[in-house]
């Protein structure tokens, strides 16, 4: 998919770059991002919204992969940006991302984070709870500012891949509950706070969703709520944010819909509900993370050791693992991979790909069919663009890999590989632990 293909040498090539050359130049493990595919996904969202005729903002949920180069691409593609911490906000601002297009999320924003966002003049705060409403109002007031807010509501729709559950009251740490009246009370209070300008509401129903029904259901409930708020409080929502969650294809077992199908389901449902209620059509915002970058990422590893247990299994270990991709260990996530330096060779054995951490659960892929694997081979694991680098750790004091963006045969470093000095950069040996008189 994207710009990846197998070249005449039988090597995997992404963005016109032979991955063997990338391994030689940048080392492994290496995150490779297909820039053209990221841009294509961004345009699919923007084009689908344009086709609806509604006003919109497509905010890239930077939690999926927050690095300055990605923020730069999001900016160039006219996306907005969703951040959830001072670190993501700082990354965006450092990359020169326009603050007016930044939306700040999170269920426990600290006063310091709120002040930083206020000073930067970001476009919108997505307020999660009553305490934050008062805190934000007070802090904005201290600075003499009036800020745009959306209230995050929990609509009682929870979608996970194929199943979606409708619950009267959602047991979730996020947002103002629609079912128990908290959302109504939240809007009422927010409308009375002098330093807040209530634009509307936000709802996020889950992640890696393959069906449109969950989104339709969320729109049904949000639209009914908008009408209730207008009729009872005289307040008109200008913005409805429907969050992210659009699924991608990690393996054959996944069947996501095209981006345009999700968008059309949402915009059609909005248009029909709001037209029927004689309500001015709101601006629609979404926040895709995974679907913007997930399939554009590939992780390249070098094969090291292997262990064959006759009649049981063969383990093949690579030079990364749960430190650069914790998803299999955390969520039992499945990935596909190929031997990138011999991509055309016939598959001859079934192996399980292990990482190098001191932990049995550090497995990347079980039962993968590959050509006869040798030490020094390159393994490319696909669909690692979202929630991989973003969730990487230094467990076992393993260094985080480098990230390169590839396009038209050019590879550009986006994140340097961590050095051993980076590993100890924040370490301090307290004076009382230092050898005296040495
Ligand atoms: N908006 C809100 C409020 C969210 O909580 C999320 C994801 C998104 C947007 C973006 O959702 P996406 O389009 O990426 O599905 N670490 C997990 C995924 C956690 C998603 C959390 N929220 C994973 O690796 O699967």
Per the annotation, the verdict on 358 as an active-site residue is yes
Our answer on whether the CB atom of 294 is closer than 6 Å to any ligand 1 atom is: no
**Residue 290 CA to ligand 1 centre (angstroms):** 7
Our answer on whether the CB atom of 61 is closer than 6 Å to any ligand 1 atom is: yes
- What is the Rg, in whole angstroms, of the alpha carbon atoms belonging to the chain? 24
Q: Is 359 annotated as a binding residue?
A: yes
Q: What is residue 164's predicted lDDT score, i.e. its pLDDT?
A: 61
Our answer on whether the CB atom of 287 is closer than 6 Å to any ligand 1 atom is: yes
Q: Is 290 annotated as a binding residue?
A: yes
Report how far apart the first and last C-alpha atoms of the chain are (Å, whole number): 60
Determine the Cα–Cα distance for residues 396 and 326; give it in Å rounded to an integer: 13
Determine the Cα–Cα distance for residues 121 and 91; give it in Å rounded to an integer: 15
Residue 180: Cβ-neighbour burial (10 angstroms; 0-12, 13-18, 19+) = middle
Closest atom of ligand 1 to CA, residue 287: 9
Determine the Cα–Cα distance for residues 195 and 193; give it in Å rounded to an integer: 6
Residue identifier of the C-alpha nearest atom 22 of ligand 1: 207
Secondary structure of residue 294 in the 3-state scheme? helix
Whether 35-293 and 5-33+295-424 are alike in CATH topology: the answer is: no
- Enter the DSSP assignment of 418: P
Our answer on whether the CB atom of 286 is closer than 6 Å to any ligand 1 atom is: no
Q: What is the dihedral of CA 407, 412, 415, 417, to 10 degrees?
A: 120
Residue 418 bridge partners (DSSP): none
Residues 6+ apart with CB under 8 A from 122: 89, 99, 100, 102, 103, 104
Say if CB 236 and CB 186 are below 8 A apart: no
Secondary structure of residue 227 in the 3-state scheme? helix
In this prediction the ipTM stands at: 0.99
Determine the Cα–Cα distance for residues 104 and 76; give it in Å rounded to an integer: 20
Q: What is residue 171's predicted lDDT score, i.e. its pLDDT?
A: 79
- Enter the DSSP assignment of 416: P
Is the backbone of residue 387 left (phi > 0), alpha (psi -120 to 50) or beta? left
Q: Where are the domains of the chain?
A: 5-33+295-424, 35-293
Q: How many Cβ atoms sit within 10 Å of the Cβ of residue 390?
A: 17
Our answer on whether the CB atom of 101 is closer than 6 Å to any ligand 1 atom is: no
Determine the Cα–Cα distance for residues 33 and 170; give it in Å rounded to an integer: 37
CATH architecture of 5-33+295-424: Beta Barrel (2.40)
Residue identifier of the C-alpha nearest atom 16 of ligand 1: 387
Determine the Cα–Cα distance for residues 303 and 308; give it in Å rounded to an integer: 14
Q: How many Cβ atoms sit within 10 Å of the Cβ of residue 5?
A: 12
Is the backbone of residue 158 left (phi > 0), alpha (psi -120 to 50) or beta? beta
Identify the segments of the chain with pLDDT beneath 50: 168
109-149 tens-digit pLDDT = 999 999 999 999 999 999 999 999 999 999 999 999 999 99
Q: Classify each residue of 254-290 as buried b or exposed e, where b means 16 or more C-beta atoms within 10 Å of its C-beta.
A: eebbebeebbbbbbebbeebbeeeebebbbbbbbbbb
Closest atom of ligand 1 to CA, residue 327: 24
Determine the Cα–Cα distance for residues 438 and 423; give it in Å rounded to an integer: 25
Q: What is residue 163's predicted lDDT score, i.e. its pLDDT?
A: 60
- For the entire predicted model, the pTM comes to 0.97
Ligand 1: residue of 42, 45, 61, 328 to mutate (most ligand atoms within 8 A of CB) is 61
Ligand 1: residue of 263, 290, 292, 392 to mutate (most ligand atoms within 8 A of CB) is 290
- The CA-atom distances, in angstroms, between 79 and each of 73, 222, 355 are 9, 24, 36
**Active-site residue, selected from the candidate residues 17, 71, 124, 358:** 358
Q: What is residue 435's predicted lDDT score, i.e. its pLDDT?
A: 80
Q: Which CATH class is domain 35-293?
A: alpha beta
Q: Which of 242, 231, 221, 108 is nearest to 170 (CA)?
A: 221
């Amino acid at each position: 998919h994207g710009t990846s293909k197998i070249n005449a040498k039988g090597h995997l090539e992404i963005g016109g770059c032979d991955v063997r050359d990338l391994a030689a130049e940048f080392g492994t493990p290496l995150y490779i991002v297909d820039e053209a595919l990221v841009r294509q996904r961004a345009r699919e969202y923007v084009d689908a919204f344009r086709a609806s005729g509604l006003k919109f903002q497509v905010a890239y949920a930077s939690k999926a992969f927050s690095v300055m180069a990605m923020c730069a691409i999001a900016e160039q593609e006219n996306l907005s940006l969703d951040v959830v911490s001072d670190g993501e906000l700082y990354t965006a601002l450092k990359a020169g991302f326009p603050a007016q297009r930044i939306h700040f999320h999170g269920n426990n924003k600290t006063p310091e984070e709120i002040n930083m966002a206020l000073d930067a003049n970001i476009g919108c705060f997505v307020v999660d709870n009553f305490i934050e409403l008062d805190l934000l109002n007070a802090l904005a007031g201290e600075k003499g500012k009036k800020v745009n807010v959306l209230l995050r509501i929990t609509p009682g729709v929870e979608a996970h891949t194929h199943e979606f559950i409708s619950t009267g009251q959602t047991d979730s740490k996020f947002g103002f509950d629609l079912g128990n009246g908290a959302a109504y009370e939240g809007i009422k209070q927010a409308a009375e706070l002098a330093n807040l300008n209530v634009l509307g509401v936000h709802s996020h129903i889950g992640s890696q969703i393959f069906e449109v029904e969950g989104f339709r259901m969320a729109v049904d409930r949000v639209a009914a709520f908008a009408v209730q708020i207008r009729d009872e409080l005289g307040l008109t929502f200008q913005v409805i944010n429907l969050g992210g969650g659009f699924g991608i294809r990690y393996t054959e077992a996944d069947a996501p819909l095209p981006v345009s199908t999700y968008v059309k389901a949402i915009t059609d449902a909005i248009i029909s509900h709001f037209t029927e209620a004689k309500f001015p059509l709101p601006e629609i915002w979404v926040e895709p993370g995974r679907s913007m970058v997930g399939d554009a990422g590939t992780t390249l590893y070098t094969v090291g050791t292997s262990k064959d247990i006759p009649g049981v299994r063969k383990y093949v270990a690579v030079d990364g693992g749960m430190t650069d991709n914790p998803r299999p260990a955390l969520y039992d996530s499945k990935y596909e991979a190929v031997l990138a330096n011999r991509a055309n060779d016939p598959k001859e054995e079934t192996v399980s790909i292990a990482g190098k951490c001191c932990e049995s659960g550090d497995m990347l892929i079980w039962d993968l069919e590959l050509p006869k694997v040798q030490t020094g081979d390159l393994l490319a694991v696909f669909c690692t663009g979202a929630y991989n680098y973003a969730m990487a750790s230094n467990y076992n004091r393993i260094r985080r890999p480098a990230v390169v963006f590839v396009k038209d045969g050019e590879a550009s470093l986006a994140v340097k590989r961590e050095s051993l000095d980076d590993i100890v950069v924040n370490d301090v040996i307290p004076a009382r632990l230092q050898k005296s008189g040495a």
